[in-house]
Amino acid sequence: MKFCAVVAEYNPFHAGHAYLFSKIREAGYGHILCIMSGNFTQRGEAALFQKYVRARHAVENGADAVIELPTAFAVSPAELFAGGAVHILSALENVEALAFGCESGSREEFLRTAEALLREDKPFRTALKENLKDGTSYIRARNAALLATRPEVDETLLSSPNNILGTEYCRALLSEKSGILPLPIARVGSGHGDAELKKNYSSSTAIREAIRRGERRDRKMLKANLPENVYHDVMNCTPSPFEEAALAMLFARTREEIAKAPDCAEGLENRLVSMAKSNPRYGDLLQKVVSKRYTLSRLKRILAQNLLGVELEAVQEFLSAPLYANVLAVNGQNAEEILSSLSGSIPVIARKSDYSLLKKDALGCFTIDVRANDLYNVLTGTYTNEFLTLFV
């Protein structure tokens, strides 16, 4: 059994995700493997539903299996998020392709841009060093340096959010010398981050905001945007006190510990802690610190990384170490064949006894997953077993 992989959060699973699945099958791939963020997301937020619910949603809507993107990567910036996913997928011998939604660009254009990112000549390094001086995030500084020194590069592949992520997937595939084929698929409907709820193909952002509002007037359009099984669960969704916990943890760790977060740089930990003293509400703090240099998503990720104990040095070590494929959910009708097809150079965790196969960095990475699961359980007042695999 061969797979086309998808990297996702499914927060929540919606019509756009179902559309991507349909286009994958149109491209000739009969089996879909998802690698999905756990209980915390790349926006630096707690997911609406715990990871097993979201993994079940994906399998019920056409995925063959869902494995977990380790927390250390799931709450990190794009280059580490994409790099971690590709690192794990490249260790599984039956993954043939990696599909991703994009605003524009062909496979050849994405690979050409990714190759340019890997060629770090002297003019590029000089421009990058200059761009980093003012605290700009690495990926923004790097992309600006590339555009300044390589005029042949397509700017659109380094400017829109999904294209940036697609380029990062391709860069990681090249870096890993992976045989996985990139499969860019043009998005339909709302743009990334569009906050307006539409009749169909709304953005995840708009859908989450409508769910959080909980207003009856949004229900009809939510139902049009979500598969029936997801809509049913959405009606019973309750928010978690994640924001209060993330803010409180700023005072539970030293500034030196906060500074180890992957997105923290240029003494940003000092500004966060000092501003939190006089702005003890999550939203107020973010509005005081956010700027063109320090985006809202970056600030929220720092708070999430600090809460979960995710450190840059550890994440970088995980990227070069053999890790694991933690199976969250699998299609029960042919589970045995699917699980046997997830073979490769890393352990597949489908039962508690498989945990004993983890060594060194893999064990450290999985320990963060366990911590994230325990924290999410406390925040939501629910219990989920970290060693569970759902047969859907």
How many angstroms separate the Cα of 392 from the Cα of each of 86, 195, 279? 25, 32, 45
List pLDDT tens digits, range 170-195.
Answer: 999 999 999 999 999 999 876 666 77
DSSP annotation of 327: E
The whole-chain average pLDDT of the chain stands at: 94
Helix (H) or strand (E) holding 348: strand 348-349
Specify which residues 95 forms β-bridges with: 3
Say what the pLDDT of residue 161 is: 87
Say what the pLDDT of residue 192 is: 64
Which amino acid is located at 369 in the chain? D
Instruction: Find tokens 């911590």 and name the residue.
Output: 371
List pLDDT tens digits, range 65-104.
Answer: 999 999 999 999 999 999 999 999 999 999 999 999 999 9
Say what the pLDDT of residue 173 is: 98
What lies within 8 Å, CB to CB, of 387 at 6+ separation is 349, 351, 352, 355
List pLDDT tens digits, range 198-212.
Answer: 888 999 999 999 998
Stretch(es) of the chain classified as CATH 3.40.50.620? 3-119+158-194+315-391
Residue 274's SS3 state is helix
- Lowest-pLDDT choice from 37-41, 60-64, 200-204: 200-204
Question: How far is 177 from 141, CA to CA, in rounded Å?
Answer: 25
Question: How far is 195 from 239, CA to CA, in rounded Å?
Answer: 19
Joined tokens for residue 261: 């977060």
Residue 207's SS3 state is helix
Say what the pLDDT of residue 119 is: 86
List pLDDT tens digits, range 134-172.
Answer: 777 777 888 888 888 888 788 888 888 899 999 999 999
Joined tokens for residue 358: 């983890």
Say what the pLDDT of residue 132 is: 83
Instruction: Give, in degrees to the nearest 5, the angle at Cα 51 between 48 and 53.
Output: 80
Say what the pLDDT of residue 193 is: 66
Instruction: Give, in degrees to the nearest 5, the angle at Cα 321 between 315 and 326.
Output: 80
Asked whether 80 and 163 are in contact (CB, 8 A), the reply is: no
Please name the residue ranges forming H helices in 290-359.
296-308, 312-319, 335-341
Given 3-state DSSP classes, what are the helix, strand and coil percentages for the chain, each rounded to the nearest 5? 55, 10, 35
Specify which residues 64 forms β-bridges with: none
Say what the pLDDT of residue 142 is: 84
Question: How far is 367 from 144, CA to CA, in rounded Å?
Answer: 36
Closest CA to 142 of 165, 113, 117: 117
List pLDDT tens digits, range 251-304.
Answer: 999 999 999 999 998 899 999 999 999 999 999 999 999 988 899 999 999 999
Q: What is the CATH number of domain 3-119+158-194+315-391?
A: 3.40.50.620
DSSP annotation of 235: T
**Residues of the chain above pLDDT 70, percent:** 99
First to last CA, the chain: 18
